[in-house]
């Protein structure tokens, strides 16, 4: 008897967003995430079709800083509370630079209350914040391929500067 092995199909950004929405709606999972009053907390989840997924708790005032996802695409959904995403509406080069001058008009901001989220492409640079002074937020994130690295940036006015490259073993 012949058997065939089908290669797993990579999930689309829309499928990652659907996964994040379904997971964010799991109130027991969200409620059971340990929350720290001083720092973000996270639990790794099983994502669809070999993707990487995380449930993340955000204390009041927490933020990620400017970063990208090392060439992975993904999605995230707010499961509790409200998050604000600041992003750049331009693709950045993936290598060979340390600082970039950004043109006017590339900044985007969106508020994502409970149940809302978004998908993003491989060259997405953003910062996510819990701007609430009193309330924790919780979110679900999914990436494909699993994060090979994250680049962290500083931002001063119109200048975006590469500060650090983190590998999976560092988080």
Q: Which residues contact 29 (CB under 8 A, 6 or more apart)?
A: 23, 55
Segment 146-158, tens digit of pLDDT: 999 999 999 999 9
pTM for this entry? 0.91
Q: What is the CATH number of domain 13-170?
A: 2.60.120.10
Sheet hosting strand 66-67, strand order edge to edge: 99-101, 159-166, 150-156, 66-67, 126-129, 82-88, 107-113
Per domain, the residue ranges of the chain are: 13-170
Residue 43 to residues 62, 71, 136, Cα–Cα distance (Å): 17, 22, 16
Segment 107-147, tens digit of pLDDT: 999 999 999 999 999 989 999 999 999 999 999 999 999 99
């Amino acid at each position: 008897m012949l058997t065939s092995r089908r290669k797993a199909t990579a999930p689309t950004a829309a499928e990652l967003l659907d996964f994040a929405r379904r997971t964010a709606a799991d109130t027991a999972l969200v409620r059971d995430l340990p929350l720290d009053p001083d720092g973000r907390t996270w639990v790794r989840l099983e994502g669809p079709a070999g993707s990487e997924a995380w449930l993340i708790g955000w204390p009041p005032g927490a933020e990620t800083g400017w970063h990208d996802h090392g060439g992975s695409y993904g999605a995230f959904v707010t499961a509790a509370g409200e998050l604000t995403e600041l992003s750049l509406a331009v693709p950045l080069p993936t290598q060979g630079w340390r600082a970039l001058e950004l043109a006017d008009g590339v900044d985007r901001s969106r508020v994502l209350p409970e149940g809302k989220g978004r998908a993003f492409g491989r060259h997405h640079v953003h910062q996510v914040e819990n701007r609430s002074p009193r309330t924790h937020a919780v979110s679900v994130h999914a990436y494909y391929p699993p994060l090979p690295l994250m680049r962290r940036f500083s931002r001063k006015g119109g200048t975006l500067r590469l500060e650090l490259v983190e590998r999976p073993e560092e988080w």
